Amino acid sequence: MRTSQKDNTDIEKVVARPTSEDMSTDSNTEGIQTDKSRAARIYCRLMRMMNGETRGISRVPEKEKTQSSIMAPTRLWMAINVVIAAYALGALSYSLFDLDFGTSVLTIVFFNILGSIPVGFFSVFGARFGLRQLIVSRFLVGNVANRVFCFLACIACVGWAAVNTMSSAQLLYIVSDTGALPPWGGCVVVIACTIIVSFFGYNVIHTYEKWSWIPNMVCFIAIIARMAKADVFKAGIQNEAGEWVTWGSGSTLAGNVLSFGGTIFGYSAGWATYAADYTTYMPADTSAWKLSLGVFTGVSVPLIFTEVLGAACITGVKTSKVFADYYDNYSVGGLIYAILVHDSLHGFGRFLCVLLALSTVCNNIPNMYSIAMGAQALWSKFAKVPRVTWTVIGNGLILAICIPAYYKFESVVDNFMNLIGYYIAVYVVVGMIEHFVFRKSFSAYNPDDYNRNDRLNPGYAGLFAFCCGVAGAVLGMNQTWYQGVLALKIGADAGDIGFELAAGFSALAYLATRPVELKYMGR
């Protein structure tokens, strides 16, 4: 696929603009070049030896963009999403939302496609401008509103990683004969592995993710084979008459579909605030369509695969007492153990369980890499703190959260995913409206202005749209701890429509106020 003549003109304009990094003597640092301490010199030397990255949120010059393969980000996102956390999310379809298998599959496919589109779109900005996602957001949602999204993105990074780590800790706990490795020990193992890889930055992360999906896929194939041999799959659910039906119906089912769909959307679209972080070293003339399609595929296809598999496996609790007991006692980790180990593959099954537990590292790495970018983008003083410091801080917060939350896994996952979906919906809608309605082309951006507050989108319209989006989410949410007014009007079983209302309210607010902001502030 070739870029259009107009796109090429836009690219030439972007590339032609000189950047401050192009004129520096050492552009691949994050303020460390001004630090003459011994620790700073050792840090930089170590990074160079390991092909590590010392750059923070500064713009990547075109001469340093050496990653030309579209398959690189595609493989990255595939590895990130072929993990136990996605499998666990699919398992919520029946265990938490009481959906039949057919309805679960349709919900998983539709909401993953919806959530993966913005991830593919925003990835293009990383290649075009050489800027991280939450720096690009200064142009898209505005400088003021972006600080709010930076803060929320940092919270989301910690929350994602905590949820992922809990999934693995469950599995490691049961594989270690329920006691040899306590839950906190499993959390420490996963977090330690995450720190080691994410420490070295962009290149090492891409190299690790290039191959890490292979053992994960082997584990999932083994689950498919053993699930088929166990012959416990049951697609239907029981209706009010106690009969097993393949497809459910009624308002309760519709409400559960909306709630489950919001959870699925929150997971896939949740990567939107990090999307450009993993394409910043790709040339500016990279085909926008190929890149966005590659990332879209890398996110949606593995998520659909793993979540559908989780939805299929959880049906085993309907017909197998063994599966039901293991799931009741050890949640998703117990379900995987029942499939791979109990009266199954025994020792080899345990080995596969350990591999699958460590798959969480693939998913946690981008969270811990991007949390540093979010923190540095939040406040200029934070940008002076090296990226690895934020990574270590983030992992410490994960450990503090995931151990107590371990014992309430299902409710934590559902509540967290829905909350992520609310704010992501606002971010995606406002960002896409800014690009497609008000800027219309990549040539409308001057990426070298990313640190010029007097030239950036002010962000007051974005902040107002965010507040309206919050109002929409509050009105439409249907959680165990709170039910919105509109959700109750529709009915207690109507499901969660929070992210849909958040998107709609914020879109209307931004379309109404952004023209006013442009008229009176001119930027």
Q: Determine contact, residues 271/299, Cβ cutoff 8 Å.
A: yes
pLDDT bin (cut points 50, 70, 90) of residue 24 is very low
CA 461, CA 142: separation in Å to the nearest integer? 8
Q: Could you report the per-residue pLDDT of 275-316, keeping only the tens digit for each?
A: 999 999 999 999 999 999 999 999 999 999 999 999 999 999
CA 243, CA 511: separation in Å to the nearest integer? 50
CATH code, domain with 333: 1.10.4160.10
Q: Is residue 432 part of a domain?
A: no
Structure tokens at 515: 């023209």
Nearest to 54 by CA among 45, 65, 64, 66: 45
Q: What one-character DSSP code corresponds to residue 32?
A: G
Q: Is residue 459 part of a domain?
A: no
CA 503, CA 424: separation in Å to the nearest integer? 9
Range from 157-171, 193-207, 225-239, 261-275 that averages highest in pLDDT: 261-275
Structure tokens at 244: 């097993």
Burial of 182 (0-12, 13-18, 19+ CB in 10 A): middle
Torsion, CA 196, CA 376, CA 54, CA 141, rounded to 10: 110
State the alpha helices, DSSP H only, in 459-497: 460-476, 485-490
What is the extent of the structural domain holding 325?
A: 5-245+271-406
pLDDT value at residue 411: 60
pLDDT value at residue 26: 36
Nearest to 469 by CA among 503, 496, 495: 503
3 state SS of 361: helix
Q: Is residue 10 part of a domain?
A: yes
pLDDT value at residue 2: 41
Structure tokens at 230: 């166990």
pLDDT value at residue 28: 42
Torsion, CA 462, CA 467, CA 469, CA 475, rounded to 10: -170
Q: Could you report the per-residue pLDDT of 136-174, keeping only the tens digit for each?
A: 999 999 989 999 999 988 888 888 788 788 878 888 888
Q: Mean pLDDT of all residues in the chain?
A: 83
pLDDT value at residue 240: 63
Q: Is residue 444 part of a domain?
A: no
pLDDT value at residue 29: 46
Q: Is residue 81 part of a domain?
A: yes
Q: Could you report the per-residue pLDDT of 447-502, keeping only the tens digit for each?
A: 999 999 889 999 999 999 999 999 999 998 887 777 888 877 766 566 778 888 99
- The three-point CA angle 384-386-392 to 5° equals 130
Q: Could you report the per-residue pLDDT of 313-326, keeping only the tens digit for each?
A: 999 998 899 999 99
Structure tokens at 265: 């959307």
Mean pLDDT within 55-71: 87
- The three-point CA angle 265-270-272 to 5° equals 115
3 state SS of 242: coil
Q: Is residue 481 part of a domain?
A: no
Burial of 258 (0-12, 13-18, 19+ CB in 10 A): buried
pLDDT bin (cut points 50, 70, 90) of residue 35 is very low
CA 482, CA 250: separation in Å to the nearest integer? 23
CA 223, CA 217: separation in Å to the nearest integer? 10
Is residue 509 pLDDT above 80, yes or no? yes
pLDDT value at residue 209: 81
> Of residues 395 and 177, which shows the higher confidence score?
395
Q: Determine contact, residues 283/139, Cβ cutoff 8 Å.
A: no
Q: Determine contact, residues 206/78, Cβ cutoff 8 Å.
A: no
CA 137, CA 150: separation in Å to the nearest integer? 9
Q: Determine contact, residues 476/496, Cβ cutoff 8 Å.
A: yes
Nearest to 349 by CA among 96, 174, 481: 174
DSSP-assigned beta bridge partners for residue 238: 244
Q: Determine contact, residues 83/164, Cβ cutoff 8 Å.
A: yes
Handedness of CA 196, 200, 203, 205 (dihedral sign): positive
> Of residues 40 and 280, which shows the higher confidence score?
280
Structure tokens at 222: 């083994």
Nearest to 438 by CA among 202, 139, 194, 210: 139
**Which residues are within 8 A (CB) of 164 and not within 5 positions of it... i.e. 6 or more apart?**
83, 84, 85, 190, 360, 363, 364, 367
How many of the other CB atoms lie within 10 Å of CB of 515? 13
Phi, psi of 144 (to 5 degrees): -70, -50
CA 454, CA 483: separation in Å to the nearest integer? 42
Domain count, the chain: 1
In the chain, % of residues over pLDDT 90 = 42
Q: Determine contact, residues 239/330, Cβ cutoff 8 Å.
A: no
Q: Is residue 351 part of a domain?
A: yes
Q: Determine contact, residues 87/309, Cβ cutoff 8 Å.
A: yes
Question: Which secondary-structure segment (H or E) carries 115?
Answer: helix 101-129
> Of residues 241 and 271, which shows the higher confidence score?
271
pLDDT value at residue 22: 40
Q: Could you report the per-residue pLDDT of 415-433, keeping only the tens digit for each?
A: 666 677 788 999 999 999 9
DSSP 331-345: HHHHHHHHHHIIIII
CA distances from 289 to 4, 6, 69, 284 (A): 11, 14, 14, 13
Q: Would you tell me the crossing angle of helices 498-521 and 409-433 to the nearest 10 degrees?
A: 30
Q: Half-sphere exposure (CA, 13 Å, Cβ side) for 207?
A: 11
